[in-house]
Amino acid sequence: MARPRWRVPDVRLAGVGVVLVAAWVGIGVRLVDVQALSADQYAGREGVAVEFFGRSVSTPRGPAALAQSQEGAEDQLDDGAHQMDARNIDASDLVIGIAASGTTPWVRSALARAKARGATTAIVACSPPPPDTLEVTDFQIVVLVGPEAITGSTRLKAGTATKLVLNAITTGAMVRLGKTHGNLMVDLLATNDKLRDRSERIVMEVTGLAREAARELIEHAGGRVKTALVMHTLGVDAADAERRLADAGGVIRRLAPAPPAP
């Protein structure tokens, strides 16, 4: 079946492209970002934040580019394609290229190879991408931010806009994957004092339990908030709650249709 091709021409419609890409990830597709230079830091931080749903970041010259710009690396055409081969990119992947100008050779090479290997591809850019980039992408999210205050310094408006788009994509994907319930981050494992307190407050808010009861419920759930909420809502033990969550794709709303209290 042919994939749809979506072009998002300006910032007012960027949300449409974000929803489409997030929906693609929400059905279990692995998400891989490819970008060069200043975009690395933004995408790298996003990758760390959401690594639990199979997302990875690929940059010229590897992880070093996340800490220090690798000038000239963006022109290495062969390396972009090579990294897609090294990651065994295939039809189960969604590869997003990040390039403020939409013309970065390394990103274009990576997208072309990813496309040839059967992946779904997208570009996030702040200028209209050229035809050869459009040809190798299924989705184009183009946020036209205009000239930078300091000419050529795309870490300013372009970098900020790119971060917002990536943040929306990953947040949308996490919502579709059941990491949230209403506006609460429920796919949470209480592993430190801050998270234990947050877990208890979430369970208290959703269930109406007092703190001590919420704490006991979370303990019986192995520290997992989602499991605790399903246990309370359905009146089941932890093992049964985990099985039901797995059958529901990890989405609490499929087991308990009513939204959490506002």
SS (H, E, C) 73-85: HHHCHHHHHHHHH
pLDDT confidence band for 259 (50 / 70 / 90): low
Minimum mean pLDDT among 14-28, 120-134, 144-158, 202-216: which range? 14-28
pLDDT confidence band for 163 (50 / 70 / 90): confident
- Better-scored residue on pLDDT, 69 or 101: 101
- Better-scored residue on pLDDT, 48 or 156: 156
Which DSSP string do the residues of the chain spell out, in sequence order? -PPP-EEE-SGGGHHHHHHHHHHHHHTT-EEEEEE-TTHHHHHHHHHHHTGGGT-EEE-TTTTHHHHS--TTGGG-HHHHHHHHHHTT--TTEEEEEE-SSS--HHHHHHHHHHHHTT-EEEEEESSPPPHHHHTT-SEEEE----S-SSTT-TTTHHHHHHHHHHHHHHHHHHHHTTSEETTEE-S-B--SHHHHHHHHHHHHHHH---HHHHHHHHHHTTTBHHHHHHHHHHT--HHHHHHHHHHTTT-GGGT--SPPP-
- Give the list of residues 6+ apart from residue 197 with CB closer than 8 angstroms, or none: none
- Give the list of residues 6+ apart from residue 257 with CB closer than 8 angstroms, or none: none
Extract the tokens encoding 85: 């081969």
Minimum mean pLDDT among 28-32, 101-105, 142-146: which range? 28-32
Q: What integer pLDDT is reported at residue 86 of this predicted model?
A: 87
Domains of the chain listed by start with CATH number: 6-176 (3.40.50.10490), 180-254 (1.10.8.1080)
Q: Does the pLDDT at position 112 exceed 60? A: yes
- Better-scored residue on pLDDT, 47 or 98: 98
Q: What integer pLDDT is reported at residue 39 of this predicted model?
A: 47
Q: What's this model's pTM, rounded to 2 decimal places?
A: 0.72
Active site residues: 51, 74
Q: What integer pLDDT is reported at residue 237 of this predicted model?
A: 96
Q: What integer pLDDT is reported at residue 160 of this predicted model?
A: 86
pLDDT tens column, 34-77 = 665 444 455 545 544 444 334 444 544 444 444 445 455 555 56
- Give the list of residues 6+ apart from residue 234 with CB closer than 8 angstroms, or none: 240, 241, 244, 255, 256
Quote the percentage of the chain above a pLDDT of 70: 69
